[in-house]
Amino acid sequence: MWTAGIVVLIGTWWMTQNIALACCLAGGYYAVALALGFVFRKILCPVWLYVCIQISIAVCLIAGLFYFSSPQRASGRSVARGQKADDVQGNEDKIRDFALKEAPSVWKAYQFLSGSIEERDRKIAELRKTLELFGLKADEDADVRKLSRARDEMSASRDAIKAKLEEAYLQTRKFAATPDRKEFDDLRKQAVEDGIKEAQVALKRYKAMKERK
């Protein structure tokens, strides 16, 4: 019985990815199984008692699936995912608009690095595929490692630039809310200046990478 309860727990969690629901159903199974064992142990033979307990397992699993896959809950999850995606896109648009107005050179560097990273990802994927077709291990190839390191450096630079833009935008919003606190505007200006410096360093580093080829 105890093993079957664990099966209910693991099976429900695997199918629904909801640990709270899995625990509830496993607990419900134990309650049903114990009740059946206590009430019917003198009436039913062990075989039929075992059958009843297995039926309770099936009922718990079906109930869990029905609960989790109901149209209302599925719709709610889809709406939540859509809302989250919209929020992320909305933030991206705000950062872009702010950068184009306050630091277009920084945004241009950010976009350039993003495109370069995508191009580098394609080249790495193509090289890995070619090596694997010849039975070679891509992870052990020196050129793949070199390309991957360069890609990671560009990604770190791009993320640093974006962080400065986000910081500058946040300080702008704070200053708009409390214009009497000039330090917010000073922090914005400093973040923009840091972003410009970071962009210049990143582009210089990228140029050096290309020259080393």
Question: Over the stretch 83-136, which tens digit does the pLDDT of each residue have?
Answer: 555 566 678 889 999 999 999 999 999 999 999 999 999 999 999 999 999 999
Segment 184-195 shows an average pLDDT of 93
Could you state, in order of their start, the residue ranges of all structural domains in the chain? 2-69, 84-211
Please provide the average confidence, as pLDDT, over all residues in the chain: 77
Residue 179 pLDDT? 87
| Under 8 Å between Cβ of 37 and 53 | yes
Per 3-state DSSP, the chain is made up of helix, strand and coil in percentages (nearest 5) of 90, 0, 10
Q: In this predicted model, what pLDDT tens digit does every residue of 2-38 receive, in sequence order?
A: 455 565 556 655 655 666 666 666 666 666 666 656 6
Residue 206 pLDDT? 85
Supply the pTM of this predicted model: 0.57
Q: Which residues contact 77 (CB under 8 A, 6 or more apart)?
A: none
Residue 63 has pLDDT above 70, yes or no: no
Q: What angle do CA 14, 19, 23 make, to 5 degrees?
A: 105
